[in-house]
Amino acid sequence: MNIVYMGTPGFAVPPLEALIGAGHRVQGVFTMPDKPKGRGYALTPTPVKECALAHHLTVYQNNSMRDGEALKILQELNPELIVVVAYGKILPKEILQLPKYGCVNVHASLLPKYRGASPVQWSIVCGETQTGVTTMLLDEGMDTGDILQMRKIAIGPDETAEELMTRLCDLGAELLLSTLTGLESGAITPVKQDSSEASYAPIIKKEDGLIDWTAGAQSIHNLARGLRPWPTAYTILEGKLLKIFKTAVLGTTDKKAGTVTEARNSLIVACGDGIELEITELQLEGSKRMAACDMLRGRKIESGTLLG
C-alpha cells in the first residue's frame, strides 16, 4: 500500500518502522519543524524525522497544513492511505478526504475514553487498571472518528507513564499493521464512537504535578507515576521544590495531611485519607535525583515537618 506517514515524537517511531518492515511504500513523512534545544539552542530534529532520514525517506516539515502547500504535496504523492500518529497538527477536511482508504490514526487509549493529547499520563493519574491502543479513521473532531480496531492491556499497580508508553508503542505498531491488512481486505467495519462515554486527556502542564496532600495516598501515588518522566509530581520542602519520582502506599496514620511522619531510610508523609505515603526516590531543588535514603544522610528532616 502507498502511504504517507505523519508523526513527531518517539511514540510515533515504532509504527513507522513497522510499516517499512512490512513492505509498505512510505512515499513521504510529515513531521513537526526542528526545534531549538539545549544550552546552545541548536535546532534538533524530531525522532520521526531521524527515523525517516535513516531509511532514506523524504521528509516534509510544513508550518501549516491549511495554507494549501501541504495539500498540493499530498495531491502529487497521491497516497492510498495517510497514517497519523501523534503528529501535532489538525488535518483539514480536504486532506482527510484525499486518500482512498482515508486517514488512520493510532491513539494510546481505549476510545472514546481519554481523547486528547496526554492519554497515557491521565489514564494512570486517574487510577485506571486497564488501557490500550485504538486505530480510528480521522475526522474533523478531536479523536472522534470511527473506530477500526482496539487492543487492551493491563496497567501495573506501580507502572509509570514512561514504562506504559514503551509498551503501548509496540502494541500500536502491531495494531496498525493489523488494521491496514483489514482495510485492504475489507474485513473491518468502522464503528462509531459513543460520545456519551467520552473522557478527555488535555495536554499535561507543569502545574499538574503539584501535590495536594489532602488527597488520598493512592491518588498521590498515581500522580507520581503518571507524571514521569515529565513534569513529575512535586511539593515544597522548607522553601525548596522537591520532585518526587518513586512512592509506595503504606498504612494508617493520625497525623495531619502533608506531615512528615518519619525521615530515616525514606520520607514518609501523611495523606488526607489517613494513609501514609513513602517517598523512596526524589530530587531536591539544587541537587541531583537520588534515593531518599541518600538525601537523608546529608540533610536532617525532622518528623512533624510540613510539606507543601
Of all residues in the chain, the percent with pLDDT exceeding 70 is 100
Of all residues in the chain, the percent with pLDDT exceeding 90 is 98
- Write out the residue range of the structural domain in which residue 106 sits: 2-197
pLDDT digits (tens, 9 = 90+) for 137-175: 999 999 999 999 999 999 999 999 999 999 999 999 999
Q: Give me the mean pLDDT over the 230-236 stretch.
A: 98
Same domain, 179 and 277: no
Among 138, 168, 197, the domain-final residue is: 197
* Per-residue model confidence (pLDDT) at position 40: 81
305: in domain: no
Give dist(CA 308, CA 259) in Å, integer.
Answer: 9
Same domain, 186 and 227: no
Same domain, 77 and 172: yes
Collapsing DSSP states into helix, strand and coil, what is residue 227?
Answer: coil
pLDDT category, 216, cuts 50, 70, 90? Answer: very high
* Per-residue model confidence (pLDDT) at position 62: 95
Cβ neighbourhood burial of 147 (10 Å; 0-12, 13-18, 19+): buried
307: in domain: no
**Number of domains composing the chain:** 2
Tell me what the pLDDT averaged over the chain comes to.
97
Q: What is the CATH number of the domain that holds 244?
A: 3.10.25.10
The three grid cell numbers given for residue 289, joined into one nine-digit string: 535525583
Same domain, 140 and 21: yes
pLDDT category, 221, cuts 50, 70, 90? Answer: very high
41 secondary structure, DSSP code: T
pLDDT digits (tens, 9 = 90+) for 73-89: 999 999 999 999 999 99
* Per-residue model confidence (pLDDT) at position 39: 79
Question: Quick one: CA dihedral 240, 241, 246, 252, positive or negative?
Answer: positive
pLDDT category, 70, cuts 50, 70, 90? Answer: very high
Q: Give me the mean pLDDT over the 226-254 stretch.
A: 98
303: in domain: no
108: in domain: yes
* Per-residue model confidence (pLDDT) at position 103: 98
Among 132, 165, 197, the domain-final residue is: 197
306: in domain: no
* Per-residue model confidence (pLDDT) at position 217: 99
Same domain, 50 and 88: yes
Q: Are 93 and 116 in contact (CB under 8 A)?
A: no
What is the residue-wise DSSP string for 14-32? Answer: HHHHHHHHTT-EEEEEE-P
* Total Cβ atoms within 10 A of residue 14: 22
Same domain, 97 and 143: yes
Same domain, 34 and 90: yes
Same domain, 181 and 162: yes
47: in domain: yes
Q: Give me the mean pLDDT over the 26-51 stretch.
A: 93
Q: Which residues contact 72 (CB under 8 A, 6 or more apart)?
A: none
With 90 as the cut, is the pLDDT of residue 41 above it? Answer: no
* Per-residue model confidence (pLDDT) at position 37: 86
Same domain, 251 and 281: yes
pLDDT category, 227, cuts 50, 70, 90? Answer: very high
With 90 as the cut, is the pLDDT of residue 38 above it? Answer: no
Whole-model pTM: value is: 0.94
Give dist(CA 83, CA 248) in Å, integer.
Answer: 40
Among 163, 179, 197, the domain-final residue is: 197
Same domain, 156 and 228: no
Q: What is the CATH number of the domain that holds 77?
A: 3.40.50.170
Same domain, 86 and 231: no
178: in domain: yes
100: in domain: yes
Same domain, 141 and 273: no
Collapsing DSSP states into helix, strand and coil, what is residue 118?
Answer: coil
pLDDT category, 212, cuts 50, 70, 90? Answer: very high
